[in-house]
Chains A and B, each alone.
Chain A
Amino acid sequence: MTNHWIDLKNADVILAMGSNPASNHPISMKWIMRAREKGAKLICVDPRFTQTAAKADLYAPLRSGTDIAFLGGMINYILEKDLYFKDYVVNYTNASFLVNPDYKGPADLDGLFSGYNAEKRNYDKKTWSFQLDENGIALKDPTLQNPNCVFQLLKKHYSRYNVDKVVDITGTPKDKLLAVYELFGSTGKPDRAGTECYAMGWTQHTVGTQNIRTMTIIQQLLGNMGIAGGGINAMRGEANVQGSTDYGLLFHILPGYNPTPNASLVDLATYNEKNTPKTKEPRSVNWWSNRPKYIASYLKAVYGTAATKENDFGYSWLPKIDVGQNASWLMIFDKMLKGDFEGFFAWGQNPACSGANSNKTRQAMTKLKWLVNVNLFDNETGSFWRGPGMNPKEIQTEVFMLPCCSSMEKQGSIANSGRWAQWRYKAVEPIGQSMPDAEIINELFFKVKELYKKEGGAYPDPIVNLAWEYGEKDAAGKVKHVDVHAIAKEINGYWLEDVYDNKVSPPKLIGKKGDLVTSFPSLQADGTTSCGNWIYCNSYILKDGKEVNMMARRGKDDPTGLGLYAGWAWAWPVNRRIIYNRASVDLQGQPLDPKRPLVKWDAGKKAWIGDVPDGPAPPMGTDGKFPFIMKPDGVASIFGPGLAEGPFPEHYEALECPVEANAMSKQRVNPTIKIFGDKMDAFASCDARYPFVGTTYRVSEHWQTGCMTRHCSWLLEMQPQNFVEMSLELAKDLKVGNGETVIVSSARGEVKAVAVVSERFKPFKIASSTVHQVGLPWHFGWQFPEDGSGYDSANLLTPNVGDANTMIPESKAFMVNVRKA
């Protein structure tokens, strides 16, 4: 979230698209309903009439996988009707930047951008660049008239998304479509705030990243970024998924969103050189220019005293990926199926049910020598060898179950979607032999380290050099029990030496050896500071000589009335509650929306009032800095050259779709996606065997694969069985009655489900044909309830094809059939 949960109450218009907050994020709905009580309007755009739709002031259906067409039409509408916030667009975005004249877009190239390589299925992004002046600064046209400026290119690109075309693609009734455009477009006024809430409904597509990109363009045009009641808000489906991303759970990032080094970055200097963005724009903060400090401090936290200047702070010990290697989920299981792995830790997850094309995932695990399942309960993953279609006699995988304890049985921090790190306390003792994850890791670490020490092994250095000062040690040097506060403090970082500011005379002590670092501007690239995760620096500080856990704060003051609650817990970065908040003011630093003054420049005191601003520099109109400090140019990117598919989002159909052709261009599917081609990777588009669009989602009663919730009888009672929702029209065609068990099948598998026939589903009119859509939750699995009455996972149906940037599988739009059981 660029903003945070409570901030939803500040919005005038809330667009819930790609999400179902009422069901999946009920607490967000608390704030949305608060906003509505004050007169805000809730728009819900969803293929099905959800609980959120039931509360919405305006509901518009759309066929799964057509969000870019829908939103592209909105961009066109905003531009045509002049609804955009001109000052914001000119000053705070790259709309005025002049683009390389060689750049060509889908309007010119029938769905492709310049630089496409059909063989490699990727782009040479050379032409997706800006024209620079002699100082290397982008050329601009503040009048936005230059035909090569971003704004004009944007206009040209989205003029193709006219209302009739959009309606033909999305199946949305025209009046509803226009009503959504008009209502959300109304937030382009400075005193109107519009926010967007998305979740997996946007990400789980082959165009997932571009779905979100399209919305960022809208929010930039309307001036809704960086303001209270605005922003683009990714509603995280798990309590701590924000934290896990912040801490580098994904293969391509280290903690704090630093890129994972690849094999070509042979030393730290090369890594820094390649990964540190540069700008010649003197007024851009370009915060990422600090990356060398964060990496050095990170390495010091990881390897401690073993990390020295001489050995590049142990940079060589960090695991490297191959150049261009994608090591994401779909790839892991593809390689596992090919026998490339010996073992697998399924830690706090249930791939047998959560992985798209679960049959492939389940088969992949049969190729393993060993599998360690760390979970609260045994699940479909731990028991995969005795699952449906498996012959235990033929499976050699040795499975170990390590019971871990639940979040209530340990203390520590979690980071919510609003980037708040909140400290939580242990409520009850762990049950039986279960242990907190950290304790399990501690046990494993010392055992592995001991083996490396004893046997040497291929490359023991990364393990034996790890700093592990997490608590009292026994005689053998093993940490007896992990002190989570020690970890939290390591994450925040320490001064490792007495550090002086030598610019003043006499040099002033800015950091005393052994003290906690106060915040990340203090971090050093020379190894004199440590910090496990720079964005969390300032979360555990020294105040008046005492160590203060900022995450444990419970202050309830809200002086602005905007619900910032700056004294409650702690938000990264440096307790900033709404990021890019300097975009909420005019060039003189005065709030664009006087009703919602998020930050304000006090010219007398030469200081900002309100939320923690994006840097202390004065306003942009004086001698200050640009507001989008994380962007090299200092402004937000309407033209975004970083993504795989192109600088402007373009509509492509889902890999499995019900239409023969993309109404926008000859490119039916995203030209840059990786398509797996083995026998377990079946796809079927426009195939009479699978005539209906399928989608998956969650219900409030269950969580993810249901491993925890299916074991809770209170929740299972409310949603006991896998179900498939469909329209009355489709049910009539199929002669299926409400409550009857049916079989839903795709090119990859089939699953039983109870038919829930409802007016909440309606067939779509797509151009001249009718498209039926069905939907299933993916919370169920064969292993529990033990009688199998819950049926199996809907992910047996979903395709293992991913977004071109993130490889998130396309489980929101695929093709299925439904037949009577």
Chain B
Amino acid sequence: MANETKNRKGMMVTPELCIGCRACQVACKSWNQLPGTKTTNNGTYQNPPDLNSTAFNLIRYNEVPGQENPVRWLFVSRRCMHCEEAGCMTICPTGAIYRTADGAVAVNRDKCIGCKLCTNACPFDVPRYDAENKMTKCHQCSDRTAAGMLPACVKTCPTGALKYGDRDEMIKTAKSDGFKTIYGEQDLSGLGTVYAFKDEPKLYGMKENPTIPGSVVFWHTYLKPLSFIGLGGVVAAAAIHYLAIGPHKEKEEV
């Protein structure tokens, strides 16, 4: 286990390097054969407005007040975070959501039953369901990485705002490059998509202290083992009772 974590691959997003060209959005659709959808301009460059079953990643365009200029325009890649403690994977009743050898959280369409529990267990509101009621999301191009290629979005990113590689090493490099905050380094035991920031992640609209819903943790930690142990315990108790005390005996008629 420890060894696996050590070699964990991951995605490093550096919004400071992102120029908002959105080649990543197109590359993702191209590789994953996802159609474009009908949208309208909602008064922002951000489109589609949020992740959907045909948009596994998107650039968020955040305008925040600036000091040097009236405004700062921040471009942030939004996508699955590939949490080490993945709420979606924990709650998935079929094992359709699984971890790849490289550490990505991926979905096996055949096993997905469309229950949507993952949607509610995800701290980042990532899972989306397609027309066939199958969960879809970024899988870090596990089909490409398994073949030694970079994820499509990383491959196309012109500025290195998206990187893929050894997670620990990328974090080390980012820190030595002066990025004080690595968002996701520790959260949920370490996200598979980490972000390098010089400012507060909050400024970029990152969720503070992401957690898996308490009920999911409780269920996973206590109830799930209890049901199994409980079954075993009851069966064992019955067996002991049968052997030690024995079945009810009809008493002789008085």
Touch between A and B in complex, CB under 8 Å?
Answer: yes
A residues touching B (Cβ–Cβ < 8 Å)?
A: 22-23, 26-27, 29-30, 33, 49, 51-55, 59, 699-701, 712-721, 723, 737-740, 754-760, 762, 789
Contact of A49 among B19, B37, B69 (CB under 8 A): B69
| Residues on the A chain within 8 Å of B17, using CB | 33
Bound together, the chains give a CA A717 to CA B48 distance in angstroms of 7
Min CB gap A345→B, angstroms: 32
Contact of A718 among B22, B42, B63 (CB under 8 A): B22
Bound together, the chains give a CA A249 to CA B22 distance in angstroms of 32
| Residues on the B chain within 8 Å of A739, using CB | 41-44
Min CB gap A593→B, angstroms: 26
Task: Assess whether A59 is in contact with B69, with CB atoms less than 8 Å apart.
Answer: yes
Bound together, the chains give a CA A754 to CA B47 distance in angstroms of 14
20 other A-B residue contacts (CB within 8 Å) besides A22-B21, A700-B20, A789-B40: A23-B21, A26-B23, A29-B159, A49-B69, A51-B21, A51-B73, A54-B72, A712-B36, A713-B36, A714-B26, A714-B29, A714-B30, A717-B48, A718-B45, A720-B40, A738-B44, A756-B43, A758-B71, A759-B70, A760-B73
Task: Assess whether B73 is in contact with A59, with CB atoms less than 8 Å apart.
Answer: no
Task: Assess whether B19 is in contact with A26, with CB atoms less than 8 Å apart.
Answer: yes
Task: Assess whether B74 is in contact with A54, with CB atoms less than 8 Å apart.
Answer: yes
| Residues on the B chain within 8 Å of A723, using CB | 41
Is residue B148 within 8 Å, beta carbon to beta carbon, of the partner chain? no
Task: Assess whether B36 is in contact with A759, with CB atoms less than 8 Å apart.
Answer: no
A26-B158, A717-B36 as given contacts; A55 in contact with B19, CB under 8 Å: yes
| Residues on the A chain within 8 Å of B160, using CB | 30, 33
Task: Assess whether A718 is in contact with B71, with CB atoms less than 8 Å apart.
Answer: no
Task: Give 25 CB contacts A-B under 8 Å.
Answer: A26-B19, A29-B19, A33-B17, A33-B19, A33-B159, A49-B69, A53-B69, A54-B20, A54-B73, A54-B75, A699-B45, A713-B35, A713-B36, A714-B26, A714-B29, A714-B30, A716-B36, A717-B48, A719-B41, A719-B45, A738-B43, A740-B43, A756-B45, A757-B43, A760-B73
Which residue of B has the minimal Cβ distance to A731? B43
A30-B158, A30-B159, A720-B47 as given contacts; A754 in contact with B71, CB under 8 Å: no
Which residue of B has the minimal Cβ distance to A741? B41
A54-B72, A713-B36 as given contacts; A759 in contact with B19, CB under 8 Å: no
Task: Assess whether B74 is in contact with A718, with CB atoms less than 8 Å apart.
Answer: no
| Residues on the A chain within 8 Å of B158, using CB | 26-27, 29-30
Which residue of A has the minimal Cβ distance to B48? A717
Which residue of A has the minimal Cβ distance to B58? A718
Is residue B39 within 8 Å, beta carbon to beta carbon, of the partner chain? yes
Which residue of B has the minimal Cβ distance to A50? B73
Contact of B21 among A26, A738, A759 (CB under 8 A): A26
| Residues on the A chain within 8 Å of B70, using CB | 49, 759, 762
Bound together, the chains give a CA A715 to CA B45 distance in angstroms of 12
Is residue B25 within 8 Å, beta carbon to beta carbon, of the partner chain? yes
Task: Assess whether B43 is in contact with A755, with CB atoms less than 8 Å apart.
Answer: yes
| Residues on the B chain within 8 Å of A30, using CB | 158-160
Query: B1-43: which have CB < 8 Å to A?
Result: 17, 19-23, 25-26, 29-30, 35-43
A715-B26, A762-B70 as given contacts; A720 in contact with B39, CB under 8 Å: yes
Bound together, the chains give a CA A565 to CA B36 distance in angstroms of 38
Is residue B253 within 8 Å, beta carbon to beta carbon, of the partner chain? no
Task: Assess whether B44 is in contact with A721, with CB atoms less than 8 Å apart.
Answer: no
Bound together, the chains give a CA A614 to CA B158 distance in angstroms of 32
Interface string of B180-223 (1 = CB under 8 A from A): 00000000000000000000000000000000000000000000
Is residue B252 within 8 Å, beta carbon to beta carbon, of the partner chain? no
Is residue B110 within 8 Å, beta carbon to beta carbon, of the partner chain? no
B residues touching A (Cβ–Cβ < 8 Å)?
A: 17, 19-23, 25-26, 29-30, 35-45, 47-48, 63, 65, 68-75, 158-160
Q: Secondary structure at chain A's binding surface: helix, strand, loop or mixed?
A: mixed
Min CB gap B15→A, angstroms: 10
Which residue of B has the minimal Cβ distance to A179? B68
A26-B158, A54-B20, A55-B19 as given contacts; A756 in contact with B44, CB under 8 Å: yes
Q: Of residues B22, B43, B44, B72, which shows the largest number of chain A Cβ atoms within 10 Å of its Cβ?
A: B43
Which residue of A has the minimal Cβ distance to B68? A59
Task: Assess whether B63 is in contact with A759, with CB atoms less than 8 Å apart.
Answer: yes
Which residue of A has the minimal Cβ distance to B63? A759
Which residue of B has the minimal Cβ distance to A716? B36
Min CB gap B69→A, angstroms: 5
Contact of B36 among A22, A29, A714 (CB under 8 A): A714
Which residue of A has the minimal Cβ distance to B29? A714
Which residue of B has the minimal Cβ distance to A718? B47
Bound together, the chains give a CA A145 to CA B82 distance in angstroms of 69
Bound together, the chains give a CA A760 to CA B42 distance in angstroms of 16
Q: Of residues B21, B23, B39, B65, which shows the largest number of chain A Cβ atoms within 10 Å of its Cβ?
A: B21
Task: Assess whether B71 is in contact with A760, with CB atoms less than 8 Å apart.
Answer: yes
Task: Assess whether A721 is in contact with B22, with CB atoms less than 8 Å apart.
Answer: no
Bound together, the chains give a CA A717 to CA B47 distance in angstroms of 7
Contact of A760 among B23, B35, B63, B75 (CB under 8 A): B63
Min CB gap A24→B, angstroms: 9
Task: Assess whether A717 is in contact with B37, with CB atoms less than 8 Å apart.
Answer: yes
Task: Assess whether A701 is in contact with B159, with CB atoms less than 8 Å apart.
Answer: no
| Residues on the A chain within 8 Å of B73, using CB | 49, 51, 53-54, 760
Task: Assess whether A715 is in contact with B20, with CB atoms less than 8 Å apart.
Answer: no
| Residues on the B chain within 8 Å of A26, using CB | 19, 21, 23, 158-159
Contact of B41 among A23, A715, A737, A756 (CB under 8 A): A756
Min CB gap A280→B, angstroms: 49
Min CB gap A253→B, angstroms: 33
| Residues on the A chain within 8 Å of B68, using CB | 59
Task: Assess whether A718 is in contact with B20, with CB atoms less than 8 Å apart.
Answer: no
| Residues on the B chain within 8 Å of A738, using CB | 43-44
Bound together, the chains give a CA A30 to CA B65 distance in angstroms of 26
Task: Assess whether B43 is in contact with A718, with CB atoms less than 8 Å apart.
Answer: no
Bound together, the chains give a CA A760 to CA B70 distance in angstroms of 8
Min CB gap B205→A, angstroms: 15
Bound together, the chains give a CA A51 to CA B62 distance in angstroms of 12
Min CB gap B145→A, angstroms: 22
Min CB gap A710→B, angstroms: 11
A29-B159, A715-B36, A721-B40 as given contacts; A700 in contact with B21, CB under 8 Å: yes
Min CB gap A437→B, angstroms: 26
Which residue of B has the minimal Cβ distance to A791? B41
Contact of A754 among B21, B43, B63 (CB under 8 A): B43
| Residues on the B chain within 8 Å of A54, using CB | 19-20, 72-75
| Residues on the B chain within 8 Å of A759, using CB | 63, 65, 70-71
Min CB gap B14→A, angstroms: 10
| Residues on the B chain within 8 Å of A719, using CB | 41, 45, 47
Bound together, the chains give a CA A30 to CA B158 distance in angstroms of 5
| Residues on the B chain within 8 Å of A27, using CB | 158
Which residue of B has the minimal Cβ distance to A738? B43
* In the complex, the 4 A-B pairs of residues with the closest C-beta atoms, listed nearest first: A713-B36, A739-B43, A738-B43, A759-B71
Min CB gap A718→B, angstroms: 5
Task: Assess whether A721 is in contact with B37, with CB atoms less than 8 Å apart.
Answer: no
Which residue of A has the minimal Cβ distance to B177? A37
Task: Assess whether B69 is in contact with A754, with CB atoms less than 8 Å apart.
Answer: no
| Residues on the B chain within 8 Å of A737, using CB | 43
| Residues on the B chain within 8 Å of A717, using CB | 36-39, 47-48
Bound together, the chains give a CA A443 to CA B38 distance in angstroms of 40
A54-B72, A717-B37 as given contacts; A700 in contact with B42, CB under 8 Å: no
Bound together, the chains give a CA A762 to CA B70 distance in angstroms of 8
| Residues on the A chain within 8 Å of B65, using CB | 759
Bound together, the chains give a CA A387 to CA B213 distance in angstroms of 56
| Residues on the B chain within 8 Å of A29, using CB | 19, 21, 158-159
Min CB gap A815→B, angstroms: 24
Which residue of A has the minimal Cβ distance to B25? A718
| Residues on the B chain within 8 Å of A715, using CB | 26, 36
A33-B159, A713-B36, A714-B26 as given contacts; A721 in contact with B41, CB under 8 Å: yes
| Residues on the A chain within 8 Å of B38, using CB | 717, 720
Which residue of B has the minimal Cβ distance to A36? B17
Min CB gap B67→A, angstroms: 12
Task: Assess whether A22 is in contact with B20, with CB atoms less than 8 Å apart.
Answer: yes
